[in-house]
Structure 1
Amino acid sequence: MLARPRLRALCLRNARHTLPAQSQRRQINHFVSQNPPTADQPPPSQPQTTFTLAVKDNITTVSPLPTTTCASPFLASHASPFQATIVTQLQSFGAQLVAKTNLDEFGMGSHSTHSAHGPVAQSLGGSPYSAGGSSGGSAVAVANEEVDLALGTDTGGSVRLPAAYCGVVGYKPSYGMLSRHGVVPYANSLDTVGLLARTVGRIRELVVERGLWKVWDGRDPTSLGEATRRRCAEGREGCNGEKGRGLEGVRLGLPVEYNIEELEGRVKDAWVEAAGRLEERGAKVVPVSLPTTRHALSAYYVIALAEASSNLAKYDGVSRGQGFGEEVKRRILLGSYTLSSEAMDNYFLKAQAVRRLVRRDFDRVFRLENPLQDEQEVFDLSEMSDDIPMESKLGPAEVDFLLCPTAPTLAPKLEDVMSGQGVLDAYMNDVFTVPASLAGLPAVSVPMPVEGEERMAGLQLIGQYWDDAKLLGVAEAVSEVLRGTK
C-alpha cells in the first residue's frame, strides 16, 4: 500500500452570431460566437437532439456557426467552405451545435490568454483563474454546464490541461483515431481532436459504444485505414462496447521521473492519496521508470514549433508581423531557426531521436504491445532507476496504464498569468502531457480533489496505443472512486 500523506472588435457580431451579453460571461469570455439551443424538433430523417455541443474555434463549422477564426486577426471573418468531419459525425449522433469557443491563437498557449478575442477565464469564488490552454473556452463551457460536450484540439496537452484546471474530463485519443479533417493545423505529427465533458461516460459512449474509433476518413491523411484499425484492435479489451471489469486487477504505474521539483506539494499529495484509494478498490500500483521523460518537453517544443512555422508560412509574409500575436510570432521564429541549415542537426533531428526514445520508454512499461511496432521493447537494466524494483530476473513490472498528475500546479490566478508568469513557466505546464503526445498515445484527465482547495487538480491516465476503449473504461471507474460514488 502506498503511503497517503484587440482586437476585441474583430470578434464576430451580427444578428445571428453574438457574443454572450451577461456580465459573468463577459468576464470568462469563453464563447467567440453563439447560437442558443432551440426547442425545434429536427427533421424526421435526423436523430432527436441528445446533447449540446461547443466547438473550439480552430475546428471548421458551416452551420449554424460558419466562421472559424482561430482567435487570430488573420481569420477574423473567415468562413470555411466545409465542415470538420468530427462535427458532422457528432451531429449525426444528435449533437446540436450551440457555440464556438475561445482559444489561444492557432492553439498556441497554455492559458487561453493569447487570443484576439481577449483571454478566457474561469470564475472560482468570484475571482478569475486561468482556464488552461489552448482549449480553455471549451473547458469552461463544459464546467459551467452550458454544453454537454465540447471539442478541443490537443497537440501537447491542450485538452487535458484545461480539463485539469476547470475540473472536467478531457480525452486525447490515439493519434490517427479521430478525424482531423477540418482542423486548422498547428503541428501535423502531434495534433489530435479531443473531447471534453463532465463525465467519462459521456465520452466513452460516443467513442466506444457508438463507434467513433472505428471510422476511417479518407480526407484525413493521418487517419488510420480500416484494416489497420481492425488489426490494432485485436486483443484490445472493450472495443466492442462491452463494459470493463473496473479496477480489479488493473496495474497502474507511477512514473518516478514525474516527481519533479516543479510539482506542487498539494498536487503531489493528492496524487498519492488518489493512488492509495485506487489500491483499496482492487488496483495494483507500482513505480515505473520512463528515463527519457526529462528530455521530452524540450523535444516537443522543438518539433511542434518547427511544424508550426511550416504550417503558418502560408500567411502573407509582409503582414504577418502585424497580424500575428506575440506568442505565435515567438513560436514561428523559434521553429524557423530549428529548421535552418545551421541548427537542424543540433535541434530538430536530435528532437526526433528523443521522440523515438520516449516512445520506446512507454512500450517497455506497458503490458500490451504497441501494434505499430514489429518487436516488443525490453529494458536495458543499466538504464533503470535504482528506485524501481524487479518483478523477476527479466526486469520490472509491466503495467496497464500510467497514473500521474495532468499538470504540476493548480490553476493560477489570471492576473498572475497575465502579469507575472514567464514564457518558460507557461511551457512547463505541459511537462506531464507532452510525453503521451510525442508517442501518439491515448490519455484522459479526470478531476482530482485537493484537500482544502476549491480548485481541482487533474489526474491523468495514459494507455498503450489504441487501447482507448479500456482506458476510458478504467478512467470512468477511477473518476467514480475520486468522486466518492464507488
Structure 2
Amino acid sequence: MSTTSENHDAHPAARISGAVDNLLGSVGNDRAESLVAASATEIDRSFTPPSPPHWLNPPGTSVDSSDVHWHNTVDESPRTGIFRTYTESTVTGAPVLTDELSGLRITHKDNIGIRNYPITAGSPALSDTRAETTSPILRSLETAGGAIIGANHMAEFALSPTGHNQWFGDGVNPLSASHLSGGSSSGSAISVATGACDLSLGTDTGGSVRLPAAYCGLVGYKPTNGLFSHSGLIPLSETLDTIGLLASDTTIAQQAFEVLVSDPSVVYIEARSRLETCNASEFSGFTHLSRSAVDRDCEDEVASAFASALDVVEEIGLSNTSGFGRLDGNGVDIDDAELNRRSVTVVSVEAARNVGSILGWNWDLLGDQVLSRVIRGTAIPAIGYADALACRSALTSEFLATAMGGSRFLLTPTSPILAPQMSTSNATGSRARSDYMRASRYTRTINYLGLPAITVPLPTAGGGLSPALQLIGRPYDDRALLAVAATIAETCRQPQK
C-alpha cells in the first residue's frame, strides 16, 4: 500500500480513512467501510503523537555547544567515513581497567550516543542535538583500552542499504570510487576499509552492518536480537534494531565480542545466561541456500564466489578439524516472501513512529528516499503490524526447523549484488530502486527472525569489488558463529589448489 504526495498533505483523518478504505475495499466489505468512514475523525482525534527519546533534548537541560572536544569533518565524510573526530583520549568518561583492546582505534555510527556530544543520525535536522546518555557499549570498549576516535557518516535515520544520504553525500566505496559503500552504516565500513580505524560500531535493522561490510570487503557481525543493550541508541525499529561490529578481520570482532559479553551493562543477566547455556551444539554442520536458487537470484560474480565458498566449507568439514561438522550437499530453496513482507511491515510502522516523533511530525525535514519509506508506515493497518509481531516466534521456529533442519549454521550470499554503482545513487533512478530492493534480500529477514549472522569477505571479483558470504546461526549461538566464521574466512583467504 502506498501513500501519494496528494494524500500526504490531507487531513490525517482523511488519510487514515482512505488507507483503511483501500484495505477493506479489496474484499468488498461495504458495512465495514461505512463504519470506518463514520468513525475516522473520532479515531484521528484520539491519536496522541509519541514523544522522542527523553535523552535527546531533555527539557531544562543546558548543553555546552562548544566544539572544543571534537572537530567536524562532515564535508570529507563520504570518503573518510567520519562525521567528526574527537580531540580527547577518552570520551565516555569511563576509566581504563584492562588492556584487552589496547591500541585499537574505534569509531561509531552517529546514532549511538555519547553524553554531551552531537548525535545526528545522519540528518541535518538534528545538527544541534546532543545526547544525554552514553551507550554502555562505547563505555565498555573504552574501559578495555580501546580509543574512540570519531563518529561515522551514515544513511539518514539508518534507512538506506546502499549508503545514500541526500544531505551529506553518498558513501564512497574504498574498493572502487565509482561504487557505493553500502549502508546504512556506511561510514563505519568506510573508516575501517580505509584504515582510519580498526573497529567500528554500526546498527543493523535489516542488514545495515552486514551489507556495507560485504561491499567494502570487511567482517560484519550482527548479534542475536536483544543480546546487546540499546541504551543511547536513536531507534529506527526497536523490534529489529541491533548494534553490531565491523572490522577488518574476525580476530578483532571476536576480541570486542568477548569484552562486551563480559560487561553486565551491555549484556544483561538473562541474555548472558542464554548465551552461556545455548543448546545449539546438539546440531551439527552447515546447510546452505541451494546453488540453483543462488544462480537464479544473484549476479554471476556473486553466484560464482558463493559456489567456491561452499567448496571451501566442504573441505573444512571433510578435514574434520574444525569441530563444526560437514556441509549438506543439497542445500535449501527458501520461500521468504512472507518473512520479507512482515519484516517490512514492522520496520515501516516503527520507523514512522520513531522518526516522526523525533522530527515533531514534520516530514519536510526528510530526504526523498527516506520519506518514501517512512510515510508508508503511516498507512499500514494496526492489525497488520500486530500480526507481524505476534507471528515472529512461530515463524522463527518454523524457519529453524525447515530452512536449517539439523544443521547448526545456514550459509547464503550476504547480498545478491555487488556494491551498487555510484551513478545509480539518485533515489528516483530505476536502477537505484532495483539495487535498493535487491541489496538486502538475504539479510532483512534475519533481523525479523532475531538470529545472529556474520558476513565474511570472499576473493574479489571484477573491478576489485568484494562478494561476501553470510553465516547465520541459531539464537544465542553467537560465540560459535564467530569462531566458525574465523575458520572459513581464514581458509577463503588462502590460495586454492
Distance 1:480 1:424, change over 3 A: same
Task: Tell me the secondary structure at the aligned position of residue 33 of structure 1.
Answer: strand
Cα distance in 2 for residues equivalent to 1:71 and 1:233: 36
Task: Tell me the secondary structure at the aligned position of residue 455 of structure 2.
Answer: strand
Gaps of 5+ in 2: 1-64, 319-325
Q: Does 1:70 align with 2:117?
A: no
Task: Tell me the secondary structure at the aligned position of residue 465 of structure 1.
Answer: coil
Question: What amino acid does structure 2 have at the position aligned with 1:315?
Answer: I
Q: Give runs of aligned pairs for residues 320-335 of structure 1, distance below 5 A.
A: 320-335=362-377
Task: Give the drift of 1:398.
Answer: 1.5
Task: Give the drift of 1:309.
Answer: 1.1
Partner of 2:409: 401
Q: Give runs of aligned pairs for residues 320-469 of structure 1, distance below 5 A.
A: 320-338=362-380, 343-345=381-383, 347-352=384-389, 355-356=392-393, 358-365=395-402, 398-418=406-426, 420=429, 421-469=431-479
Cα distance in 2 for residues equivalent to 1:458 and 1:276: 14
More strand by share: 1
Question: What amino acid does structure 1 have at the position aligned with 2:277?
Answer: E
Cα distance in 2 for residues equivalent to 1:130 and 1:361: 35
Task: Give the drift of 1:19.
Answer: 4.0
Task: Tell me the secondary structure at the aligned position of residue 444 of structure 1.
Answer: strand
Task: Tell me the secondary structure at the aligned position of residue 259 of structure 1.
Answer: helix
Distance 1:102 1:235, change over 3 A: closer
Cα distance in 2 for residues equivalent to 1:228 and 1:15: 39
Task: Give the drift of 1:98.
Answer: 0.7
The structure number with the bigger radius of gyration is 2
Q: Does 1:275 align with 2:337?
A: no
Partner of 2:60: none
Partner of 1:220: none
Cα distance in 1 for residues equivalent to 2:179 and 2:379: 34
Partner of 1:31: 82
Cα distance in 1 for residues equivalent to 2:96 and 2:189: 32
Question: What amino acid does structure 2 have at the position aligned with 1:409?
Answer: I
Cα distance in 2 for residues equivalent to 1:465 and 1:365: 15
Partner of 2:134: 83
Partner of 1:302: 345
Cα distance in 2 for residues equivalent to 1:145 and 1:479: 19
Q: Does 1:252 align with 2:271?
A: no
Question: What amino acid does structure 2 have at the position aligned with 1:202?
Answer: I
Task: Tell me the secondary structure at the aligned position of residue 418 of structure 1.
Answer: coil
Task: Give the drift of 1:28.
Answer: 1.2
Question: What amino acid does structure 1 have at the position aligned with 2:152?
Answer: T
Partner of 1:264: 299
Task: Tell me the secondary structure at the aligned position of residue 465 of structure 2.
Answer: coil
Identity across aligned pairs (percent)? 28
Task: Give the drift of 1:122.
Answer: 1.6
Distance 1:86 1:44, change over 3 A: closer
Partner of 1:198: 248
Q: Give runs of aligned pairs for residues 468-479 of structure 1, distance below 5 A.
A: 468-479=478-489
Q: Deviations over 1:113-163 (max 9, x none)?
A: 1253222112335x3311001001000101111101100000010000000
Cα pair 1:402 1:461 within 8 Å, conserved? yes
Cα distance in 2 for residues equivalent to 1:182 and 1:464: 27
Gaps of 5+ in 1: 1-11, 218-222, 239-248, 368-396
Partner of 2:8: none
Partner of 1:372: none
Distance 1:425 1:358, change over 3 A: farther
Cα pair 2:461 2:467 within 8 Å, conserved? no
TM-score w.r.t. the length of structure 2 is 0.76
Cα distance in 1 for residues equivalent to 2:186 and 2:94: 33
Out of 100, 113, 118, the position equivalent to 1:60 is: 113
Task: Give the drift of 1:277.
Answer: 1.6
Task: Tell me the secondary structure at the aligned position of residue 327 of structure 2.
Answer: strand
Q: Deviations over 1:378-432 (max 9, x none)?
A: xxxxxxxxxxxxxxxxxxx611101110000111221222373343540221110
Cα distance in 2 for residues equivalent to 1:349 and 1:86: 31
Question: What amino acid does structure 2 have at the position aligned with 1:76?
Answer: S
Q: Deviations over 1:157-206 (max 9, x none)?
A: 00000000000000000111111101100001100000000111111122
Q: How many residues get paired?
A: 416
Question: What amino acid does structure 1 have at the position aligned with 2:374?
Answer: I
Distance 1:289 1:336, change over 3 A: same
Cα pair 2:80 2:190 within 8 Å, conserved? no
Task: Give the drift of 1:325.
Answer: 1.7
Question: What amino acid does structure 1 have at the position aligned with 2:261?
Answer: W
Cα pair 1:56 1:150 within 8 Å, conserved? yes
Q: Give runs of aligned pairs for residues 228-247 of structure 1, distance below 5 A.
A: 229-235=272-278
Distance 1:99 1:282, change over 3 A: same
Q: Does 1:148 align with 2:156?
A: no
TM-score w.r.t. the length of structure 1 is 0.78
Q: Deviations over 1:86-126 (max 9, x none)?
A: 1001111111111100111110111221253222112335x
Task: Give the drift of 1:295.
Answer: 2.5
Q: Which moved further from structure 2: 465-474 or 250-259?
A: 250-259
Partner of 2:182: 132
Q: Does 1:107 align with 2:155?
A: no
Partner of 1:171: 221
Question: What amino acid does structure 2 have at the position aligned with 1:116?
Answer: W
Question: What amino acid does structure 2 have at the position aligned with 1:298?
Answer: R
More helix by share: 2
Cα distance in 2 for residues equivalent to 1:310 and 1:198: 35
Distance 1:295 1:230, change over 3 A: same
Question: What amino acid does structure 1 have at the position aligned with 2:420?
Answer: P
Cα distance in 2 for residues equivalent to 1:483 and 1:325: 40
Out of 227, 233, 238, the position equivalent to 1:183 is: 233
Task: Tell me the secondary structure at the aligned position of residue 297 of structure 1.
Answer: helix
